[in-house]
Structure 1
């Protein structure tokens, strides 16, 4: 059954309590003032009660999630619209979290980081659930983001010094979960909020992870878990990241900006190239790249008075 708007609000308030309490542990800097008015358009997620993750699908299609309910919206950046695509109350009685997400276009799968210990996988052709995967049974876990490589999906946890991997076969079949303990600077979990965004680089041979508490980026060897600091990069309030070739975009939520960084060939260092802002940013959390356009979703953390959730389109280069 589809939720009524009234019932959605009641469920959201219950489901959001735990996440809001977690976010309250953060000590964000004062929001930076967005100085550029380069927003091309805003796409409203009509009916959403919260937001955080976004993923690029086939062509101009994007997927975005309702953070506290787990519902998935599907939209088109060219048409400028979006609608409810997956209502989790159609197949489970309790709401889910939908944090970071990535679309496996080849296999018609959407991988969603599910907050407390879980990952969710949906079929983007049928809008049906494929799997509810338990990545960890730790009660303190928070599965925050996901990236895809040639062989499967990697997930971060903001409360544990490890990554989780779900192998994906050539026809889309899912394998057993593997846990990768981290070593080096990425293993530091002394902050209130630690590993967050994740992306693959170097033809899937290297992972890049963002550390929200430290405002740093690290490379991770997916075979050994060894990590190293990407020198010369400071990204306060970093959340989701996007990587294409030698370019990295770091979404800085409470700073209301996205930094574009040029990475060195060996990924050991980076240099700030652009700071992308918009008058329509309202604590953007994650972004997806469509050619020369970034689609960033406003999470609006700590802004309970704002009840309309949007995807903001900005140029990928200022």
Structure 2
């Protein structure tokens, strides 16, 4: 069990000092691994390719210095993170607007995000800090600052189940579970050691995206270095292959029923994968592309619309950062 620090809900003080050094450090950490994952697949299943240009919309994140994570909130609300600064933006998909919501303290990062709409909580993966942060989505106040891992760590993504939040670490063969009770109270983080194929540490970037199926009884993780998806038993840490064929650049993932949307960052596409009932196989039924994709990393689903963040990794002049919406079909 890891140490935790809980803080009372309070207003977040405004801190707008530049944190460019941290942003550069996090981006530099990401680039070698993403580049390594960019090799073409050795084999690819048959698939169709869709481009939804007429429905594509770009929503700017004003003042963002970087971007990586996105989460669906209540209704058409979304949250997006500034990767290097740790700041959180709140936007409205229908209105096509976004604004700074949480000005995070210096030294934080924001990678994967998930919103617990029942308890008005936002869970944020802290990247190389080895931490996770939890905020109140009503006020923006900090609820908890959680130490998940020490040493070499990159807390990458998070998913929510009825029991709590599960986080990935791209530098270790383990997940972290933070219990959340029915009143929204957080328990102490627990470490889940992985066995099976998801345990492999074969590149600079290993476990990445995470989602859940079967009412949270099974987790699915993306492994960037292996270009693969695996199931994980959250009770035991036992993992197993999902046969999909190679998924180069696989990053954030999201499950809806028997469908998984797998974002492939440097490939600038999202694979829509139909899972078998026993979760041992997945068929890529569609590849979603957009002229607005500029290294998308994570995805949220709003009805029949996907919302993704453009991270623009490797772009020498990335310009502003934005959320892009495309049709999910």
User: Normalization by structure 1: what TM-score?
Assistant: 0.93
d(CA) in 2 for partners of 1:274 and 1:196?
22
d(CA) in 2 for partners of 1:233 and 1:123?
40
Question: By how many angstroms is 1:128 displaced?
Answer: 0.4
Contact 1:53–1:100 at 8 Å: present in 2 too? yes
What is the aligned partner in structure 2 of residue 77 from structure 1? 93
d(CA) in 2 for partners of 1:220 and 1:28?
22
- Give the alignment's Cα RMSD to 1 decimal: 1.6
What is the aligned partner in structure 2 of residue 137 from structure 1? 150
Q: How does 1:105-144 map to 2 (within 5 A)?
A: 105-116=117-128, 117-138=130-151, 140-144=152-156
Contact 1:53–1:64 at 8 Å: present in 2 too? yes
d(CA) in 2 for partners of 1:238 and 1:38?
26
d(CA) in 1 for partners of 2:274 and 2:245?
10
d(CA) in 2 for partners of 1:155 and 1:95?
20
C-alpha change, 1:38 and 1:157, in structure 2 (3 Å) is farther
What is the aligned partner in structure 2 of residue 55 from structure 1? 71
d(CA) in 2 for partners of 1:200 and 1:163?
13
What is the aligned partner in structure 1 of residue 215 from structure 2? 203
Match 1:40 to one of 33, 41, 56: 56
d(CA) in 2 for partners of 1:223 and 1:283?
34
What is the aligned partner in structure 1 of residue 327 from structure 2? 315
Higher relative contact order (CA 8 A, sep 6+): 2
Question: By how many angstroms is 1:21 displaced?
Answer: 2.5
Contact 1:34–1:257 at 8 Å: present in 2 too? no
What is the aligned partner in structure 2 of residue 29 from structure 1? 38
The number of residues matched between the two structures is 306
Unaligned runs of 5+ in 2: 1-12, 41-48
d(CA) in 2 for partners of 1:29 and 1:297?
19
d(CA) in 2 for partners of 1:45 and 1:106?
26
Q: Deviations over 1:231-276 (max 9, x none)?
A: 1342110000010000000000000000000001111101011100
The reply on whether 1:14 has 2:21 as its aligned counterpart is yes
d(CA) in 1 for partners of 2:257 and 2:125?
24
The reply on whether 1:243 has 2:243 as its aligned counterpart is no
Question: By how many angstroms is 1:36 displaced?
Answer: 5.5
Q: How does 1:159-198 map to 2 (within 5 A)?
A: 159-198=171-210
Contact 1:34–1:279 at 8 Å: present in 2 too? no
Question: By how many angstroms is 1:190 displaced?
Answer: 1.7
d(CA) in 2 for partners of 1:128 and 1:106?
17
Q: Deviations over 1:270-314 (max 9, x none)?
A: 101110000000000001000000000000011130121010000
Question: By how many angstroms is 1:95 displaced?
Answer: 3.1
Q: Deviations over 1:172-211 (max 9, x none)?
A: 0000110000000000012110000000101110000000
d(CA) in 2 for partners of 1:206 and 1:233?
21
Unaligned runs of 5+ in 1: none
State the SS of the aligned residue for 1:254.
coil
The reply on whether 1:269 has 2:269 as its aligned counterpart is no
